[in-house]
């Protein structure tokens, strides 16, 4: 079955996989591939940056969920469910998000481009940290990598991505995407 291309369908698929990985974490204090982060910090990042982005840009306030410190799975699923409800709501289709860096963007496209893609890539971080399956959907990983390569310099100077990690030409698309965004595809948690 092809990977969904609409914002609601894509979020449902990507958030669903992240939820599976979050539910599979047995040690939230385990080191994650992002320097200085733990598995809990991967969830913290996703549930802390995006609500402010939505509220400032579109006047949309997500309902508060549990604390990441107390319940990382609950914090994640509360936010994922709220975002899915936004994407599934026909009224949201005409809502615009305003941002000085990106201009005016329909809310579903803004969620898809800035948030759902972030969840997709951080799924690898959480899976790798916790020893779970970490291969990403090959079709969507290829689309992301292709789109990002044209903006290599802009992405590097944004501070959101580390230096590219070279991977062999024979590497699969997950490893190529992770290497592009600055992750070492051979990274494993410290013993």
pLDDT tier, 163 (very low <50, low <70, confident <90, very high otherwise): confident
Give the residue with greater pLDDT, 1 vs 139: 139
The 10s digit of each residue's pLDDT in 83-122 is: 999 999 999 999 999 988 888 999 999 999 999 999 999 9
Q: Residue 105: which CATH number? A: 1.20.120
Residue 98: inside a domain, yes or no? yes
pLDDT tier, 1 (very low <50, low <70, confident <90, very high otherwise): low
Residue 157: inside a domain, yes or no? no
Instruction: Tell me the C-alpha distance between 64 and 6, whole Å.
Output: 26
Instruction: Tell me the C-alpha distance between 55 and 32, whole Å.
Output: 29
Q: Is the pLDDT of residue 181 over 90?
A: yes
Q: 44-53, 111-120, 131-140, 160-169: lowest mean pLDDT where?
A: 160-169
Instruction: Tell me the C-alpha distance between 49 and 115, whole Å.
Output: 9
Residue 79: inside a domain, yes or no? yes
Range of the domain at 57: 7-136
pLDDT tier, 139 (very low <50, low <70, confident <90, very high otherwise): very high
Residue 166: inside a domain, yes or no? no
Instruction: Tell me the C-alpha distance between 26 and 123, whole Å.
Output: 16
Residue 181: inside a domain, yes or no? no
Residue 43: inside a domain, yes or no? yes
Residue 119: inside a domain, yes or no? yes
């Amino acid at each position: 079955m092809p990977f969904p291309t609409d914002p609601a369908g894509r979020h449902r698929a990507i958030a669903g996989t992240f939820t599976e990985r979050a539910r599979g974490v047995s040690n939230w204090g385990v080191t994650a591939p992002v320097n200085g982060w733990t598995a809990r910090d991967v969830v913290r990042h996703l549930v802390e940056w995006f609500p402010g982005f939505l509220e400032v840009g579109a006047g949309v306030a997500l309902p508060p969920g549990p604390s990441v410190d107390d319940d990382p799975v609950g914090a994640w699923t509360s936010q994922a469910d709220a975002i899915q409800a936004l994407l599934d709501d026909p009224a949201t289709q005409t809502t615009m998000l305003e941002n000085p860096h990106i201009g005016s963007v329909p809310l579903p496209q803004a969620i898809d481009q800035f948030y759902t893609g972030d969840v997709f890539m951080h799924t690898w971080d959480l899976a790798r940290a916790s020893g779970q399956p970490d291969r990403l959907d090959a079709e969507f990983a290829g689309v992301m990598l292709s789109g990002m390569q044209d903006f290599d310099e802009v992405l590097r100077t944004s501070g959101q991505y580390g230096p590219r990690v070279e991977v062999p030409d024979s590497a699969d698309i997950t490893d190529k995407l992770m290497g592009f965004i600055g992750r070492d595809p051979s990274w494993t948690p410290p013993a």
